[in-house]
Amino acid sequence: MPQASMLRQITDFANRADPYPVYRELRRTPVLHEEEGGPYIISSYYDIKALLHDPRISSDAANLAAAGDDELGQAEETGGLPPSFLRLDPPEHDRLRRIANSAFGPPHRPRRIENMRGEMGGIVTELIDNFGDTRQIDLVDQFAYPFPVTVICRLLGVPREDEPKFRTWVDPLVASLDPDTRQGGDAEFQKSAQEARMQLGMYLAGLVEQRAKEPRDDLLSDLVNSHGPDGSMGMMEVLSTSVLLLIAGHETTVNLITNGMLTLLRHPEILGRLREDPGLSVNIVEELLRYEPPVQLVPQRTCITDIEVRGVTIPKGSRIWLVLAAGNRDPERFKDPERFDPDRGDIQHLGFGSGIHSCFGAPLARLEAQLALSELARRLENPRLVEDPPPYRPNAVLRGPRHLNIAFEGLR
């Protein structure tokens, strides 16, 4: 495989259904730099994890813009909102994340997610009941998308009936995460992402204003009215954080649930075990996060000083791509990495990243996937894939099927 084509193969839609042969080839050159001005692509588990913890690696939108590879940053800067804490470095990142976390979990809301378990179970039951007498479903449209969207709406305090409205704004923002959509500075594409972020921010501003006057028991109210050791978020910081949580709170989980059911249908013996033992869902979800992670790569990093990785010097200001999915199947780290095995004794995956930017919503995503997959396994009689592979979304970063058609004989 010619080395010069590797970058294109990572983002090529033709490889979306099975990118893992590309990743195997990529690991032959753990630090790959194809052309001047291009990114340094890192694919080994230990190197990725070390860089995720390295303070010399920046997520700051300003540094990415200086490196000439930040259409999303441009959308943020001109979309009327500051970058979210996901795209900031310490100390500002740490301050905003601590404030957000105080509303999401410990120490102030230690059981907020766990206390939603019963409500989430009710949502799952209702969605499956709604399959009715049909014997074929599209898991994405009828379950894997509406479930996490409903949960994040209830958690944030966003009206669920507004989903069709904010989905039109979320879609172009999610598309802008994909390196393959950075269409040579395509002005129309950038404009649509900027407009979407502005519209979503304006929509959430109305809800935030309501919560400032009349707080409720939801995350938006806590963000608006937080007054802890780190102070309070400004209004624009509340809005950028709310945009982040609304998008991240459902997009990755849709793929986790869909990739999970696809994998289980390809491994019917494990699906059968899950049907008999719902507790197995904990290990299954962890192995899925290794084997089929919803976030495949992190393309938005810059080094702020020269860094040496495996004898290769990455110059200051260079862009770095961390291919998490390649690291998750690195034979240097995992025994028999191409095998789906929820009985692994050590599943220290990169599915939620690592370091200061590790996934903020990991506890929520884990619980949603566990509930969803265990109940689907229990209630679908003799489920089977209608087509394999299914059609995939174009996004190389947030990888998952666009549709997953499943036939079955009935509901338990």
Closest CA to 204 of 172, 164, 156: 156
**Structural contact between residues 328 and 350, judged by C-beta atoms closer than 8 angstroms:** yes
Q: Is the pLDDT of residue 76 over 90?
A: no
- C-alpha distances (whole Å) from 377 to each of 46, 253, 270 are 35, 18, 10
Average pLDDT of the chain, as a whole number: 90
DSSP per residue, 109-130: STTTTGGGHHHHHHHHHHHHHT
405: Cβ–Cβ under 8 A, 6 or more apart, which residues?
136, 137, 138, 139, 385, 386, 387, 390
Angular region, 86: left φ>0, alpha ψ -120 to 50, beta rest: alpha
Q: Once rounded to an integer, what is the mean pLDDT over residues 368-380?
A: 98
Tens digits of per-residue pLDDT, 104-120? 876 667 788 889 999 99
Tens digits of per-residue pLDDT, 292-338? 999 999 998 999 999 999 999 999 999 999 999 999 999 999 999 99
Higher per-residue pLDDT: 64 or 193? 193
Burial class (CB in 10 A: 0-12, 13-18, 19+), 183: exposed
Phi, psi of 285 (to 5 degrees): -65, -40
Q: Is the pLDDT of residue 180 over 90?
A: no
Q: How far apart are CA 64 and CA 300, in angstroms?
A: 7
Burial class (CB in 10 A: 0-12, 13-18, 19+), 70: buried
- Maximum C-alpha span of the chain: 61
**Structural contact between residues 302 and 67, judged by C-beta atoms closer than 8 angstroms:** yes
**Structural contact between residues 270 and 340, judged by C-beta atoms closer than 8 angstroms:** yes
